[in-house]
Amino acid sequence: MALPNTMKTLLQPSRESTALISTTSPLPRPAHPDDVLVRVHATCPCAGELLWVVNFPDMIPASKVLVPCQDLAGTVVSAPSASGFAEGDRVYCRINAERPGAASEYALARVGELAKIPDGLGWIEAAATPLSALTAWQALFVHGALDAKGLTGDEGARSQNRSKRVLVTGAAGGVGSWLVQLAALAGAGAVIAVCGPDKVEAVRELGSTEVVNYRETSVEEWVNADPAAREADLVVDVVGGKTLTGCWSAVKQGGVLISINTPPDMVKPAGSKKELAKSEFFVVEPLGSNLNEIGELVAAGKVRPTVDSVWEFEEYEKAFERLESGHAKGKIVIKVSGEV
């Protein structure tokens, strides 16, 4: 197919500012042996990503062209011959944050990041999946205390998972909604969802067995009312700050506390003598192999992404405003090119 020489792109022109502009840029050209050129149909912004260059300078190379939105759903234009991908394949992925994102008509992804979109999943929902689903998967099954074999009915794994209480903060958001679904599907004995009052029914529908309305009571207050019954074996925090500090009260002695915002030990309450099997902060790995496993669950109708709203490319400022408002129920999706 004939390709244009230029494309529309969102760009963060200054590392000292979170301002974005809509501009025109040259089409990216594959330069790495594993580069796959993808026509982007839809993408998703990530909360806080415009500050990554300031907050995580070691993660973002000085040479990076600051195109935001690392998630994509699109069509393969060209791929290495032995990659398993071919022109016309419907794919989705999370592009490693050290490289330009997908807020442009064409983007480069690596073979190991990509997975084929499962049947029945449209562009919007596909774009809403990678970051959130991968983060939840790795939090629960790689860094956390649940066995992923429970997802496919392995009785030994499900028996082990049934002995675990799992507490999730930000349970109605992009990552939180996946955490609740996957923990419930894996057979966790209890899934406690922390959310606002307008999201209680939504998280129950996702599979939570208990709900904490943080407008009425903090995690710490809720657990301290009956620690023996309410402490969790695994706590996954996606909020950070005071919420993460409160999670130290929620996790059992010898339990596991996982954060995607801040190392938990940095906000451990003064005087706390609680010792955990693991307290860990991690950054998601953009693995296509994990996405393939998630895709099988999606294709079987067992889990679904949660979409808050969909925006035209030209409405990118409103999309980012909605994201940073903290009120989104699921992912913010931006349409980029082609039929979506």
What is the amino acid identity at position 193? Answer: A
The answer, yes or no, to whether residue 59 has pLDDT greater than 90, is: no
Q: Where are the alpha helices (DSSP H) in the chain?
A: 52-55, 123-127, 130-137, 155-162, 174-185, 200-206, 219-224, 227-230, 241-250, 288-299, 316-324
Domain boundaries, the chain: 6-129+305-335, 133-281
Pick the CATH number of 6-129+305-335 from 3.40.1110.10, 3.90.180.10, 3.80.10.10, 2.40.40.20: 3.90.180.10
What is the amino acid identity at position 232? Answer: A
- At 261-272, the pLDDT tens digits run 999 999 999 989
Q: Which pLDDT score is estimated for 219?
A: 95
Residue in the structure block whose two tokens are 């992912």:
331
d(CA 122, CA 178): 18
The b-or-e profile of 95-113 (16+ CB within 10 A means b, else e) is: bbbebbbbbbbbbbbbbeb
pTM for the whole thing?
A: 0.95
Q: Which pLDDT score is estimated for 329?
A: 82
Selection from 283, 304, 288 nearest residue 139 by Cα: 283
Residue in the structure block whose two tokens are 């657990």:
223
The answer, yes or no, to whether residue 327 has pLDDT greater than 90, is: no
Q: Which pLDDT score is estimated for 55?
A: 86
Q: Which pLDDT score is estimated for 57?
A: 85
Can you give the length of the chain in residues? Answer: 340
Q: What is the mean pLDDT of residues 322-327?
A: 88
Q: Which pLDDT score is estimated for 1?
A: 66
Q: Which pLDDT score is estimated for 62?
A: 86
- Judged on CB neighbours under 10 Å (0-12, 13-18, 19+), 253 is exposed
Contacts 24+ apart (CB under 8 A), 44-48: 44/69, 44/71, 44/127, 44/128, 44/131, 44/174, 44/331, 44/332, 44/333, 44/334, 45/69, 45/103, 45/319, 45/320, 45/323, 45/332, 45/334, 46/70, 46/71, 46/131, 46/323, 47/323, 47/324
Q: Which residues, in sequence order, are CB contacts of 188 under 8 Å at separation 6+?
A: 146, 161, 162, 164, 165, 166
Q: What is the mean pLDDT of residues 68-95?
A: 98
Residue in the structure block whose two tokens are 């991690």:
282
Residue 302, number of CB atoms within 10 A of its CB: 14
d(CA 101, CA 191): 34
- Judged on CB neighbours under 10 Å (0-12, 13-18, 19+), 160 is middle
Q: Are 303 and 174 in contact (CB under 8 A)?
A: no
- At 277-287, the pLDDT tens digits run 999 999 999 99
pLDDT averaged over the chain?
95
Q: Which pLDDT score is estimated for 271?
A: 87
For residue 308, give both structure tokens: 């808050």
Q: Which pLDDT score is estimated for 152?
A: 94
Q: Are 155 and 335 in contact (CB under 8 A)?
A: no
For the chain, what is the total number of helices (H) and then of strands (E)? 11, 15
For residue 20, give both structure tokens: 């974005």
**35-44 and 71-78: which strand pairing?**
antiparallel
d(CA 301, CA 318): 31
CATH class of 133-281: alpha beta
